[in-house]
Amino acid sequence: MRDYLDDRSLRLRRERSDQPASARPFVLAGVLCLVALSLIYLDQQGIISPLRMLLQQAFSPAALQLTGLRNHTEDLIGAPRSEDDLRATITALEQEVSQLKAENLRLQQAQVENESLRQQLQIQREQPWHLVGAEVTVRPPDAGRQVMLIARGSADGVQVGMAVIGQDPSGPAALVGVIESVGTHTAEVLLITDVSSRISARVMHAGQAHLGLVQGQWQRGSRLSIGQVDRSAAISPGDAVVSAGLTGSLNLQLDLATVPANIPIGSIEEINPGGQGQSAELRPFVNPDQVRYVWVILNQNE
């Protein structure tokens, strides 16, 4: 094991030594800092991004396996432990199974598709979207940005700016994020909760739709907010918010401006009056932190 930790043997000091480290390691560290800064610059210019994407793709299968292992472990840990919990779970499951059987009989389904495909079919039946399903491979290790990697790329028709949706078991299919960059078999998704994510949206209230701009708030301690809603517009907690499909026409400095209209985003939790327009805190229909499987909207029927 020691050989893997070091390439040279290391003798730990037993006696006190007042001999400080020389300047040589600090010079090396300084040089490496300059190399790192140069790499950042080159990556931001897009010169070495393809190389990074290629390496990312090479690690993707292993990351997918490990993420699956983690999800499986999470499920095991989250499973009920006490006898009462188990009984309650069994009762709930029996009711659910019963309902599912009845539904299956009504619809004369011969067999049950796997959950992800079934969800995809259901979404495609209800919405005019052409979807491609994708597993979430890696989530960011840092608190700074809300992004995730998915196991689909340009080879599957995925392009920058496409909307990515997910679905919680009890909720509608809803917007999770937007494709930010694409490799051949992987893509990075900027989550709607990231502070740099801005999507044009409509607040649905009593048959009327009021325009606004949904922005991520994760780095500010919450999830989502909607702003720039007309002060005279009547909105109230519980109102649904859907994408407006107008992000491009709002003239924002964004590559991510091709989100189709009418994708559910969330519901209004708390209204903050004041300023030139109204703003409100939103509760997203799908928690982007929890999704394990998502769908990319490739295009929609006109």
Partner 1 sequence: MGYILLIGVLALVQVTLLRTPLGFSAPLLLVITICRTLIGMGAAFRDIGMVQGVRWAFYSGLMLDILAATPLGTHAFALLLATITVAFATRRLRIEGPLLPLLAMLVASLIYESVMALLIQPGPVMWGDTLRVALIPGTLLALIMTLPIFFLLRWMLRA
Which residues would be at the binding site for partner 1 (CB under 8 A)?
A: 1-8, 10-13, 16-22, 24-26, 28-30, 32-33, 35-40, 42-44, 48, 51-52, 55-56, 59, 62-63, 66-67, 69-70, 138-147, 149, 181, 188, 194-196, 218-221, 289
Work out how close the CB of 16 gets to partner 1 at its nearest, in angstroms, rounded to a whole number: 6
Of the two residues 7 and 84, which places its CB atom closer to partner 1 in the complex?
7
Q: 165 has which bridge partners?
A: 175, 295
Of the two residues 204 and 286, which places its CB atom closer to partner 1 in the complex?
286
Work out how close the CB of 300 gets to partner 1 at its nearest, in angstroms, rounded to a whole number: 27
286 membership: H or E segment, kind and range: none
Of the two residues 73 and 104, which places its CB atom closer to partner 1 in the complex?
73
Phi, psi of 215 (to 5 degrees): -130, 145
Of the two residues 189 and 203, which places its CB atom closer to partner 1 in the complex?
189
Work out how close the CB of 139 gets to partner 1 at its nearest, in angstroms, rounded to a whole number: 6
Our CA dihedral for 4, 9, 15, 17, rounded to 10 degrees, sits at -100
* Buried/exposed 111-141: b ≥16 CB within 10 Å, e otherwise: eeeeebeebbeebeeebebebbbbbbbbeee
First-last CA distance in the chain? 61
Work out how close the CB of 279 gets to partner 1 at its nearest, in angstroms, rounded to a whole number: 17
C-beta of residue 261 within 8 angstroms of C-beta of residue 127: no
- Positive or negative CA dihedral for 231, 237, 238, 243? positive
Of the two residues 108 and 290, which places its CB atom closer to partner 1 in the complex?
290
Of the two residues 37 and 88, which places its CB atom closer to partner 1 in the complex?
37
Work out how close the CB of 299 gets to partner 1 at its nearest, in angstroms, rounded to a whole number: 25
The residue type at 71: N
Provide the 10 A C-beta neighbour count for residue 202: 24
Work out how close the CB of 18 gets to partner 1 at its nearest, in angstroms, rounded to a whole number: 7
Residue with tokens 């982007």: 288
Work out how close the CB of 217 gets to partner 1 at its nearest, in angstroms, rounded to a whole number: 9
Written as one string, the DSSP assignment of 88-99 is: HHHHHHHHHHHH
Nearby residues of 144 by Cβ (< 8 Å), 6 or more positions away: 219
Of the two residues 218 and 295, which places its CB atom closer to partner 1 in the complex?
218
